[in-house]
Structure 1
Amino acid sequence: MGEPVPVGVVALDPVLEAGATVALSASPDVTVVLPGEAPAVTVVVVDEVGERELDLVRGTRDTAARPEVVLVATDLAATAALHALAAGARGLLRRRETAGGRLARATLAAASGDSTVPPDLLDHLLARASTVPPPGGPSSSLSERERAVLTLVAQGCDTAEIARQLCYSARTVVSVIHDITNRFRLRNRAHAVAYALRTGLL
């Protein structure tokens, strides 16, 4: 096993911050860093997801360490989830879903470049995508290969799982995702999924 992943915790409410810190401290695979230290992942804990909370996600992503962000909210609707992903969150959890090591697992997934979205939210996001008209023009579309890869990303598969299911090399999967994020000027995989769902590409 490698070194524990350095994780920061940020919250607008100190009680929520303390609770997340205790939950993460129970995992030997993460180490909660002090303010001012550079985390690989920052857990942002909020009650609701409004503009102030989205600014907190953006501000956290824009710090010098450029940590991945796992957003934990008391309530998380599909629209709020889309906005959070577009703001730069890599993982999403509701507070009631953080028990039993799930918060640590979502944090470790974010550190390795994978995304975590609650299954029911993913179902809502996919359902919403079917009602969004497709964008015009060939430059704004996805190839069949890109769509297949991004669909598996949306289902929570990591690079190795996608490569195995599509019979590609891991390098090809990474290259496809890189091409998508570069072409549409997206931040990460989670942002790519959110963008594709919002615009009807997926």
Structure 2
Amino acid sequence: MSDTGLTSRDFTEDAEPFRLFAEWLAEAEKAEPNDPNAVALATVDADGLPNVRMVLLKGFDARGFVFYTNLESAKGREILAARKAAMCFHWKSLRRQVRVRGPVEIVDDAEADAYYASRPRGSRIGAWASKQSRPLESRFALEKAVAEYTARFAVGEIPRPAHWSGLRIVPSAIEFWHDRPFRLHDRVLFEPDGKGGWTRTRLYP
């Protein structure tokens, strides 16, 4: 496990947060026993009350951070209403954390279709069968829905449901945190500079 913190190499003049995130995620994939791409996703409901849950990051690039969900679920409805969200990655084995927040956009159909087609067949059936976040009368009702859609799509490809797609957080801020002795942690905040680059600000721990 590295304990070097955020070194000067990480924050040279050409430092870029997506490159650094890629490096940290790659290290997490080697160190974390389960789901290194797991991330806490925070949204706000119509009353302004926060909600948080774990989701899986399914892609990232210079445009932002992507996950997939039922758009009719609680998180889907909340994000589509507010068009804003936040994420927090925590890799305990590496003593690192990354926070992301910003506006949210729906990925285009081609991107959503491509990811949906890559999922296991059972997961694609599940996207049809689950009325995510809504009351479920019994486990049997869910299993019955799965059986019905399995029969419906017994042959050929399973189309992506219109209510299932990807959401991309376009970061207005990305903060990197690394544990250091005596709680004198390293924290560095990246924010868009309005010219296609990023500003870097070191924060008190």
TM-score by length of 1: 0.25
Q: Which has the higher helix share?
A: 1
Greater share of strand: 2
Structure number with larger C-alpha Rg: 2
Of structures 1 and 2, the one scoring higher in RCO (CA 8 A, sep 6+) is: 2
In the superposition, the TM-score normalised over structure 2's length comes to 0.25
